[in-house]
């Protein structure tokens, strides 16, 4: 049985299949993406009104068009998730040990960047994952940390407040070199 949870973003809903979803970390797929290599992502994005699918470790977040009601979408998405696991699949995105790509964690040489990434990984990512999203470090230059918000955090009305009052305050507190945080 797939449970759902609302997120702070009214256009996203978090689906909890009670099973492993991604072994390779968080991954986001947009309807406009070409060559999506996930059967389940393709099936969910084929549903009218679905715009984005985000796979976390044990959850799936779906973003819908603003003019569509969740009652019109939710059951189709749950059906696709149930069908996927009922076909004997145990995980949506499997770790492929033969393909260790550049997407695997990169080791940053700069000590400040290492501290920033550590704070994001340990203090911020678990919190945004609870809301069906993710945050990824992009760059650090002249005291400004640039991050990318994904999943339910992308386009969320409260993401600006979360970024400034939450992420920026934490990073400024733990990493003195950080003065500001921006999203791409």
pLDDT in tens, 30-59: 998 888 889 999 999 999 999 999 999 999
Query: What pLDDT shows up at residue 10?
Result: 93
Which is higher by pLDDT, 156 or 64? 64
Q: Considering only the C-alpha atoms of the chain, give the largest distance between any 2 of them, rounded to a whole number of Å.
A: 51
**98 lies in a domain?**
no
Q: How many domains is the chain built from?
A: 2
What residue numbers bound the domain in which 70 lies? 3-86
Quick check: is 155 in a domain? yes
- The CATH number of the domain holding residue 33 is 3.30.1370.70
The enclosing domain of 120 has a CATH number of: 3.30.300.130
Tell whether the model's pLDDT for residue 1 goes beyond 70.
yes
Look at residue 73 in the predicted model and tell me its pLDDT: 95
pTM of the model: 0.78
- Same domain for 170 and 115: yes
Answer yes or no: is 51 within a domain: yes
Give the span between the Cα atoms of 60 and 143, in whole angstroms.
34
Residues 75 and 115 in one domain: no
Mean pLDDT, rounded, for 10-22: 95
Short-list 15, 16, 39, 56, CA closest to 151: 56
Q: Are residues 120 and 52 in the same domain?
A: no
Pair 59, 129 in one domain: no
Predicted local distance difference test score (pLDDT) of residue 97: 52
The pLDDT tens digits for 75-130 are 999 999 999 999 999 999 998 755 544 444 444 558 999 999 999 988 888 888 88
Average predicted confidence (pLDDT) for the chain: 88
Q: Do 8 and 76 lie in a common domain?
A: yes
């Amino acid at each position: 049985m797939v449970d759902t949870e609302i997120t702070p973003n009214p256009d996203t809903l978090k689906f909890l299949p009670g099973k492993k979803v991604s072994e390779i970390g968080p991954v986001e797929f947009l309807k406009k993406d070409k060559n999506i290599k996930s059967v389940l992502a393709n099936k969910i994005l084929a549903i009218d009104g679905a715009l984005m699918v985000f796979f976390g470790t044990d959850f799936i977040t779906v973003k819908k068009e603003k003019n569509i009601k969740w009652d019109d979408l939710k059951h189709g998405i749950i059906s696709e998730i149930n069908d996927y696991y009922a076909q004997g699949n145990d995980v949506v995105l499997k770790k492929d040990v033969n393909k260790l790509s550049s997407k695997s964690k990169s080791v940053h040489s700069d000590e400040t960047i290492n501290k920033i990434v550590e704070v994001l990984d340990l203090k911020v990512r678990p919190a945004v994952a609870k809301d069906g999203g993710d945050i990824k470090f992009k760059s650090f230059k002249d005291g400004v940390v640039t991050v990318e918000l994904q999943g339910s955090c992308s386009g969320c009305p409260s993401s600006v407040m979360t970024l400034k009052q939450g992420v920026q305050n934490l990073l400024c507190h733990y990493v003195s070199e950080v003065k500001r945080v921006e999203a791409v």
